[in-house]
Amino acid sequence: MSVAHSGSADARRSGQFVGVIFVFIVLLVIAAVIGHLTLPGLAPVWHFLGAHPILNALVKAVVYVSFIALLVLFLIWWERKFAGWLQARLGPKHVGPQGMLQTLADALKLITKEDITPAVADRPLFYLAPFVVFVPTVLTFMVLPLGPHWIAQDLNVALLYVIAISSMTATGIMAAGWGSNNKYSLLGGVRAVAQLLSYEVPMVMAVLSVVTFVGGLSMRHIIDYQAQNGWLILKWPLIPAFLIFLIAALAELNRTPFDLPEAESELVSGFHTEYSGMRFAFFFLAEFANNFFSAGFAVALFFGGYLGPILPGIVWFILKTFVLITLMMWIRWTVPRLRIDQMMGLCWKLLVPLSLVVFILAAAWASR
């Protein structure tokens, strides 16, 4: 009886998983169609928008912010489905097909919720902090090459720009932890910033070893190099560089082996303990957008970005990025949390020396 029951549950679970894959493929096809869409009637409009510098920037900003919002809705749903699959349960399934609209419902709930401000909070900091965290996240998307023609602005210092802008998030997290005027928030904020600053070092060294190969800091330069010489992950000194980058990215995203800043058992939920409603939603949005960006950045640096046969570039890019994000989720739902001294020790005693060695190896290999 119980065997038969579990068998049917297994069948239902695999049915669900097939459904999820199907939905994902449909979304990819839609992305491909949009990527190839050219509406002849709209050409003068596109031309006008493209030529005017301020309008151009505004349109790009609107497109990117809506892209990020939709992406995060999808990512949260995928994370819950994937977590459910790993933990032998179903995940969201009631709102919309395969529970796809569950996140939308949650977002609506967050928007309509009461926005509570603690009486002792430092108000300006408390109000500003979620946006100081969210805005740099959006700004980093500016240099992400989504496809051959899908890059908002290719700077000649793109990699430095990413490092600079993403380090600004630390200020926002600190402001949130301080502004909440709550000891758990403060401790969470302090932990988050210590983690961000420490793991920035091996991450930058890993990115620098890519730069020694490519000889340029612009994203287009990196992709062009990979178009001629194959994916950078295939150069052997860059395999450890990628692993270091992945670990550092997991730490900077505060994902589970490194989720000490929001460790529920110790700190309630860290620097966003006091936040509710829309402001909490912004933290959440920034976290998932950052997750996509880190994975996309790794894809552009190590896995050839949008390069790939037959399918259009943006589909390749999103496919590769989703594989990497799923890997990150897999790690998240498998590995237990580190202790704070283990986390700092891992960074400063293992990753930093290792990344220096990798950097020297990469420089030697690249300048043969």
Partner 1 sequence: MQAAFFGVIAFLSILSAILMVMNRNPVRSALFLVANFALLAVLYLTLAAQFIAAVEIIVYAGAIMVLFLFVLMLLSLGASHALRERGGLQPLVAIILGLIFLASLSAAGAIGTLGPGQATPQWVKNGGTVKAIGTALFDPRLPWLFPFEVTSILLLVAVVGAIVLAKRRV
Residue 123: Cβ within 10 Å count:
11
Rounded to the nearest 5°, which phi and psi values hold at 150? -110, 70
Task: Give 91 or 177: the residue with its C-beta nearer to partner 1.
Answer: 177
Angle ∠(227,149,71) on CA atoms, nearest 5: 100
- Among 31, 71, 75, 186, the residue binding partner 1 under the rule CB under 8 A is 186
Does 160 sit near partner 1 (CB under 8 A)? yes
Residue type, 332: R
Task: Give 189 or 270: the residue with its C-beta nearer to partner 1.
Answer: 189
Task: Give 174 or 251: the residue with its C-beta nearer to partner 1.
Answer: 174
Closest contact distance (angstroms) between CB of 152 and partner 1 is: 16
Does 344 sit near partner 1 (CB under 8 A)? no
Does 366 sit near partner 1 (CB under 8 A)? no
Measuring CA to CA, which residue among 256, 346, 319, 272 is closest to residue 121?
A: 272
Does 157 sit near partner 1 (CB under 8 A)? yes
Helix H, strand E, coil C: the string for 340-362 is HHHHHHHHHHHHHHHHHHHHHHH
Segment lying near partner 1 (by CB under 8 A), choices 27-35, 93-101, 110-118, 185-193: 185-193
Closest contact distance (angstroms) between CB of 290 and partner 1 is: 15
CB 166 within 8 A of CB 133: no
Task: Give 49 or 190: the residue with its C-beta nearer to partner 1.
Answer: 190
Residue 201: Cβ within 10 Å count:
16
- Judged by DSSP in three states, 85 sits in helix
| Terminal-residue alpha carbon distance, the chain | 68
Closest contact distance (angstroms) between CB of 155 and partner 1 is: 7
- Among 145, 189, 202, 237, the residue binding partner 1 under the rule CB under 8 A is 189
Region 116-145 residues binding partner 1, contact defined as CB under 8 A: 122, 124-125
Helix H, strand E, coil C: the string for 243-291 is HHHHHHHHHHCCCHHHCHHHCHHHHCCHHHCCCCHHHHHHHHHHHHHHH
Segment lying near partner 1 (by CB under 8 A), choices 23-31, 42-50, 162-170, 341-349: 162-170
* Contact footprint for partner 1 (CB under 8 A): 122, 124-125, 155-157, 160-161, 163-165, 167-168, 170-171, 174-175, 177-178, 181, 186, 189-190, 193-194, 197, 200, 217
